[in-house]
Structure 1
Amino acid sequence: MTTRPGRPGGDRRGVTAPETVASSGRPRLSGPRLFAGWGDDRDRGAFTAEFAAGLPALMALLGIGLTAVLAILTKLQCVDAAREVALAESRGESLEVASRLVPDGASIRVGGDGDSVTVRIEAPIRMFGIDLPGAVIQGGAVAAREPEQVTF
């Protein structure tokens, strides 16, 4: 190593300049490295391996999150459709409204007594267009029957 003179103004220590490698022209660093891992071939490809291992887990979490959002939307559709069907049945109207509002693959049960109408709608939870076995969303509504109109 070559020694440069110290700084003017009282610094008496000499600053050592790194030697250069003749073939590359870059300075050769001796001693501790500033950034661990630079030039170290043991860590080569580590990010790729970690990314390849973590990507399926990330995709699974994304799929579960999307399924949860779709389950909430299906629940809202079931409750909305049950309310509309209960109101239509309490008025004595046809149940055509049910076919427009219920989710795909849903089943509708209408019951009740002389004073009220009870509607229960069940729909399967879907994940990427496939019904999950045993996972069903339910929505229900109750409406009071309206008195029949008397004509004069």
Structure 2
Amino acid sequence: MNGVLAGDRGGVTVEAAVAVCGLVFVLALGLAAVMAVVGQVQCTDAAREAARLVARGDDSRAERVVGEIGPRGARWVIRREGDTAWVEVTITRLGVELGARAYAVLEPGVADG
């Protein structure tokens, strides 16, 4: 065993360890991306549904819906401007700001009063 390849002992183990670390990193990055997409979809769904309820004049129910449909820890803003309303739902995940905004035209009885 004192030949030319005697210094390569354990080389395969090191290469396997590096490969496994790389694989774990790629899997963690993929999982973070999937979680970001899920959070974005939840923000979009919550904003859309809340805007629809605000357009009907049901602001309290809209806030409850955002709390139920939106991602945990989400922040939301409900605003009315003239005969339109918009709802913005945002959340911070892994240092990235995710959010969605939905607009709706107020129903005639709601816009007048």
Normalised by the size of structure 1, how large is the TM-score?
0.62
Aligned-pair distance for 1:53?
A: 1.9
Aligned Cα root-mean-square deviation (Å)? 1.6
> Which 5+ residue runs of structure 1 have no aligned equivalent?
1-39, 126-131
Higher relative contact order, structure no. (Cα contacts within 8 Å, ≥ 6 residues apart): 2
> Which 5+ residue runs of structure 2 have no aligned equivalent?
none
Q: 1:121 aligns with which of 78, 89, 96?
A: 89
Aligned-pair distance for 1:57?
A: 2.0
Secondary structure in structure 2 of the residue aligned to 1:148: helix
Aligned-pair distance for 1:54?
A: 2.3
Q: 1:58 aligns with which of 11, 14, 23?
A: 23
- As a proportion of its length, which structure holds more helix? 2
Say whether 1:140 aligns with 2:101: yes
Aligned-pair distance for 1:98?
A: 1.4
Aligned-pair distance for 1:122?
A: 0.5
State the one-letter code of the partner of 2:101.
Answer: G
The share of aligned pairs that are identical, in percent, is: 34
Partner of 2:53: 88
Secondary structure in structure 1 of the residue aligned to 2:77: strand
State the one-letter code of the partner of 1:76.
Answer: V
Map 1:1-150 onto structure 2 (within 5 A).
Answer: 41-93=6-58, 94-95=61-62, 96-125=64-93, 132-133=94-95, 135-148=96-109
Matched residues in 2 for 1:147 and 1:97: separation?
Answer: 23
State the one-letter code of the partner of 1:139.
Answer: A
State the one-letter code of the partner of 1:51.
Answer: A
Aligned-pair distance for 1:70?
A: 0.8
Secondary structure in structure 2 of the residue aligned to 1:92: coil
Normalised by the size of structure 2, how large is the TM-score?
0.82
Aligned-pair distance for 1:99?
A: 1.4
Secondary structure in structure 2 of the residue aligned to 1:104: coil
